[in-house]
Each structure stands twice: as C-alpha cells, then as structure tokens.
Chains A and B, each alone.
Chain A
C-alpha cells in the first residue's frame, strides 16, 4: 500500500533562510510525486510534479524538489524564504493507473519570521 510521510508538522524559518520540507513515500512501483501548497481558505495549488523525466524538478515560486529513489524521498526546498511562502504544504503520491486518487501526507505548516 502506498503511503506518504512528511516529517515535521510545523517548520519555522527566518526570511531569507533555506526552506527544507521533508517527504518520504512508500510505494511498490515507481510513483508519480507531487507537492501542493494551500493558503488559508483556499484549495490546493500545484507547486511541482515528478514524473520520471528528471530527478531534480523545478516548480513555481522558486521551489524545487529532488527525487531520490534509494532514500524514497522527495524533499522540497527553496534557497531563500519569503514571507509570502507561509502556508501549508502537502506531498502526494500516485501510482500507475490510479487516476485521480492521490495519497497525501499530513502536511507541513511553514511559518516565516521577519
């Protein structure tokens, strides 16, 4: 069975500091991996997706993630945090032929201090 684990339900960084949000997945077959962001009272917005074309994936708003098969990880990073990055971030996995069924992690709330 697939599962996603996000380490740390809350992460706090200073403005300008590195952002690192951790995601580990469990899947018996090569997965499709996604990172989404959710701002208060809004739906989920796609940040980036991994679909086996390249292990380092660049997304919107300066975020990127690296797929590491040996570590079953897909951590999200951003070199320099901005106040507007404060939100909740979700990692999700989907395997072959699962259509619209994503398995989400529990989410990580990112706070950015001035």
Chain B
C-alpha cells in the first residue's frame, strides 16, 4: 500500500505570494490532517478534512486554508506569505476511529524569503 504522498518536497516563495501544497492520502483513508512544524513552535495542528468537509481547525489565521476532493486528496493554501510561514508542512491521513493512528507524509519544506 502506498503511503501518504506530498508534493512538492521543497518550495521557495517570496513574501506576499501565495502557495498551494498537495497531499494524497493512503488509499481508503478519508481523513486528512495538516500540521506545521517549526523549530520554535514544534508541531501545530492546522486543520482536518473528512469526506470533503473541514472537521477540525487549529488556531491559525484565515490566510491558511484547505480543501479536500472527492477522492480524498487534499490541498492547503497559504495566501499573502510571511517570513514566519517558513516551515515544514506535514500531511497525515487516517482511517476511522479515535484509535486509528495518523500516517504522515515526508512533508513540504516551504521557505519564504
């Protein structure tokens, strides 16, 4: 079974631009979650989508948004990029049930200059 796939692996953007990151979950998983990882703040939950609906949301500004398609693939978008948005963005998918673990992709490294 293929794992969680994130594209691209690396991105360099300029302040003020916007960016879209993509995530393909494990086949059969309907939940996709996004996390931001930085040295200072650690791993922080952005949002979760389940069956094309946002089910949970973290404490991030509205510049961070996401969506999920009917095939469970998900995208997250960051508009008006700031230097502080530089981070590793991780996507994870899971099956149903609270005891179902999250399976993570290798992330997209975003650098904002």
- Residues on A lying within 8 angstroms of B by beta carbon are 32, 34, 36, 41-46, 49, 51, 90, 94-107
Q: Contact: A90 with B43, CB < 8 Å?
A: yes
The minimal Cβ–Cβ distance linking A55 to chain B, given in whole angstroms, is 15
Q: Contact: B94 with A104, CB < 8 Å?
A: no
Q: Which of B14-22, B78-86, B103-111 contacts A (4 or more CB under 8 A)?
A: B103-111
Chain B interface bracket (under 10, 10 to 19, 20 to 34, 35 or more): 20 to 34
A45 to B101, CA, bound (A): 10
Q: Contact: A99 with B48, CB < 8 Å?
A: yes
- Residues on B lying within 8 angstroms of A by beta carbon are 4, 6, 31-33, 42-43, 45, 48, 50, 55-56, 58, 90, 92, 94, 98-99, 101-107
A99 to B94, CA, bound (A): 9
Q: Which of B42, B43, B55, B106 contacts A100 (CB 8 A)?
A: B55
The minimal Cβ–Cβ distance linking B59 to chain A, given in whole angstroms, is 11
Closest to B104 in A: A43
**Which residues of chain B come closer than 8 Å to A32, judged between CB atoms?**
98-99
Secondary structure dominating the interface of A: loop
Q: Given A100-B32, A100-B33, does the pair A34, B101 have CB atoms closer than 8 Å?
A: yes
Q: Contact: B56 with A99, CB < 8 Å?
A: yes
Q: Contact: A41 with B98, CB < 8 Å?
A: no
Q: Contact: B99 with A49, CB < 8 Å?
A: yes
**Which residues of chain B come closer than 8 Å to A90, judged between CB atoms?**
43
Closest to B91 in A: A43
Closest to A95 in B: B98
A46 to B99, CA, bound (A): 13
The minimal Cβ–Cβ distance linking A100 to chain B, given in whole angstroms, is 3
Q: Contact: A100 with B102, CB < 8 Å?
A: yes
List 4 tightest A-B contacts by C-beta distance, closest first.
Answer: A100-B33, A43-B104, A100-B48, A51-B99
Q: Contact: B90 with A44, CB < 8 Å?
A: yes
Q: Contact: A101 with B48, CB < 8 Å?
A: yes
